[in-house]
Structure formats: C-alpha cells, structure tokens
C-alpha cells in the first residue's frame, strides 16, 4: 500500500515531502503540487515527460505474470530475494518492477521490511500495487530524477530493467546494496535461434561494470543457469514478455511456436550481481 512508503517518496517537481490527503485518493507536496492516486492503488509521479515513455504493454505484463506464476524462474526470484535480504534491509526498491513478483518475494523474507516498486508502465504499476501489502507502487521514469528521498533505501534491485546508476546511488543509504540481474549470452539461446529473437548484447557485462564504476563496488557475482522444459503456452508467455514481443507479429510468432516440439528445452542463464554503494561517490 502506498501509505506504507509515503515517507520515502518526494515530489517529482520540487523534491519536497508528500502526504496523502482526503480519503487517500490524492497525494500532495508541501508546495501544493498534487498527484491522483489511481483506483488500482498506484500513484503516478512523472514530472514533465508524462506519456513519452510508456514501458511494457498490458499484453507484455500479462505474459510476464503468467510466466512468473508458472514457477520456471523461481530459482532466479529466490536468488534475488536472498541477495537482497542478506543485507537486512528495512526498505527495498525495484526499478522496472514489472509485475512486482521479485519484490513480493523479497518482502516475504522479513516481516517489517517495506518496499517501493517503480515502473513507467501503468499496467505494470497496477500489478505491483496488488503484489504485496507492504509494497507501494509508483509510476516514474528511471531516466528522470527518481521521486525518492536521498539515502532512504537500503537495497535496490534491477532485474532485466534499465538502470540509472547516479540516481540509484543517490537514493541508497550509506552502505546500501544494489542487486542487478542481467541475462548472459546463453539465456533462451534455443529460442533465439529457432524463433529469431533479439540476441543479448555480448558487451552487456562490460557496459554494466562501466555504468556502475566510481559509484559502486562489486561484492558478488553469481551465475545461475538451468534448463527449463517449456510447453507452447509457456514459450508464448516467455517470448511475449520480452523485448522481442515488439519486433514480431502475433501471427508469425504463433506459427513459429507451433512448429516446435510439444516440450522444448530452453536455457535460463543470468548473472546476479551484488554491489555496495561507495561512500566516496559524488552524488
């Protein structure tokens, strides 16, 4: 619920404190900027660029929900929850939170922990708002200053999502941790070949390191790799939730999936990196 995390949020226009007013359907800052709380429980704290970046569509978010609920990524979800909770955070935040599945698992590890899920997609924000009672859902663009109080977050996760290292460093508390999940070049390799999906950029790991350098030090990097036995429905969800969903028509994708064996072996391969915010970093 938003009320659980209001003290962690700030106005996107003037960075002053926010409070819920009336029956909780409006959030207002000290200088009088107001933001409507959606019926589904999330608040949009976009400043200025509203609508320019929309993020994942409702279809992509539904596909992501279906796939994550099927349990095939449970090992990755558990690894993220373990990496976050190892540092005993009281406040956690995910950028590009998607459906909120990862944050919900983190919040289950410790009953006094509270969380904020940020995503620019409204269909994602609706899911995040329902994902866990101690989770607040905020629509914001990670490429803009985050509407989050400086130094207020103990652990941030970024799972297959864009990240803005300077802002993540700013919102983290001293010694706060950042957990980043990125796909390796083997992730979904069988489907990349047969369905013509977008390839993982081979330079991804180097670019991640460069973007965090000077602000974070690496504590750990764990590779998680396993094989999933997927039927056509799961493969359709996996493809539909990913970046390739934007690059092929439904019909062409359905035809290609129908030509696969009834159960296909597909590799999941990711790196879970844990980083500590450097005290000396310029904010």
Ligand X SMILES: C[S@@+](CC[C@H](N)C(=O)[O-])C[C@H]1O[C@@H](n2cnc3c(N)ncnc32)[C@H](O)[C@@H]1O
User: What residues line the site for ligand X (CB under 6 A)?
Assistant: 53, 55-56, 64, 96-99, 101-102, 119-121, 124, 141-143, 159-162
Q: Which of 10, 11, 79, 236 binds Zn ion (CB under 5 A)?
A: 11
Work out how close the CB of 121 gets to ligand X at its nearest, in angstroms, rounded to a whole number: 3
Give the pair of three-digit tokens for residue 128: 């995040």
Q: How far is the CB of 142 from ligand X (least distance, A)?
A: 4
Please report whether residue 149 would count as binding Zn ion according to CB under 5 A. Answer: no
d(CA 132, CA 39): 17
Work out the burial of residue 82: count CB atoms within 10 Å of its CB; fewer than 13 is exposed, 13-18 middle, 19 or more buried.
Answer: middle
Question: From CA 215, how far away is CA 219, in angstroms rounded?
Answer: 13
With CB under 5 to 8 Å by kind, the binding choice for 215 among Zn ion, ligand X, none is none
Burial of 124 (0-12, 13-18, 19+ CB in 10 A): buried
Closest residue by Cα to residue 91 from 69, 66, 113: 113
Asked whether 214 and 193 are in contact (CB, 8 A), the reply is no
What residues from 30 to 89 belong to the interface with Zn ion (CB under 5 A)?
31, 33
Identify which of residues 56 and 167 has a Cβ nearer to Zn ion in the complex: 167
**Alpha carbon 119 to chain centroid distance?**
7
Binding status of residue 14 toward Zn ion by CB under 5 A: yes
Q: How far apart are the C-alpha atoms of 206 and 71, rounded to whole Å? A: 30
From the list Zn ion, ligand X, none, pick the one residue 53 interacts with, judged by a Cβ distance below 5 to 8 Å according to partner type: ligand X
Mutual orientation of helices 122-131 and 58-69 as an angle, nearest 10°? 30
Tell me if 96 sits within 8 A of 191, measured CB to CB: no
Residues 94-123 that bind Zn ion (CB under 5 A): none
**CB nearer to ligand X: pick between 64 and 215:** 64
Q: Which residue is nearest to Zn ion (CB)?
A: 11
Q: How far is the CB of 34 from Zn ion (least distance, A)?
A: 9
Looking up tokens 């844990």 gives: 274
Residue 21 CB, shortest distance to ligand X, in Å, is 26
| Sole window of 11-19, 50-58, 106-114, 207-215 interacting with Zn ion (rule: CB under 5 A) | 11-19
Q: Which does 119 bind (CB under 5 to 8 A by kind): Zn ion, ligand X, none?
A: ligand X
Does 13 participate in binding Zn ion (rule CB under 5 A)?
yes
Binding-site ranges for Zn ion (CB under 5 A): 11, 13-14, 29, 31, 33
């Amino acid at each position: 619920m938003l009320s659980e995390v209001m003290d962690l949020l700030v106005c996107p226009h003037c960075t002053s404190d926010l409070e819920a007013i009336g029956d909780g359907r409006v959030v207002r800052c000290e200088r009088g900027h107001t933001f409507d709380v959606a019926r589904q429980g999330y608040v949009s704290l976009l400043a200025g660029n509203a609508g320019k970046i929309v993020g994942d569509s409702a279809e992509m978010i539904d596909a992501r929900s279906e796939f994550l609920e099927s349990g095939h990524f449970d090992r990755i979800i558990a690894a993220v929850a373990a990496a976050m909770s190892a540092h005993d955070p009281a406040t956690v935040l995910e950028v590009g939170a998607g459906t909120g599945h990862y944050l919900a698992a983190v919040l289950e590890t410790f009953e006094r922990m509270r969380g904020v899920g940020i995503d620019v997609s409204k269909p994602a924000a609706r899911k995040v708002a329902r994902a866990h009672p101690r989770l607040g859902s905020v629509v914001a663009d990670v490429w803009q200053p985050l509407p989050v109080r400086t130094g207020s977050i103990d652990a941030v996760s970024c799972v297959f999502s864009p990240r803005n290292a300077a802002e993540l460093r700013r919102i983290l508390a001293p010694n706060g941790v950042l957990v980043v999940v990125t796909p390796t070049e083997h992730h979904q390799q069988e489907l990349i070949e047969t369905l013509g999906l977008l390839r993982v950029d081979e330079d991804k790991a180097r670019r991640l390191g460069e973007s965090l350098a000077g602000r974070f030090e690496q504590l750990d990097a764990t590779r998680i790799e396993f094989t999933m036995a997927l039927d056509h429905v799961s493969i359709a969800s996996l493809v539909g939730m990913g970046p390739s969903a934007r690059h092929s028509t439904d019909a062409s994708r359905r035809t290609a999936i129908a030509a696969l064996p009834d159960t296909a072996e597909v590799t999941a391969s990711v790196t879970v990196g844990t980083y500590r915010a450097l005290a000396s970093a310029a904010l």
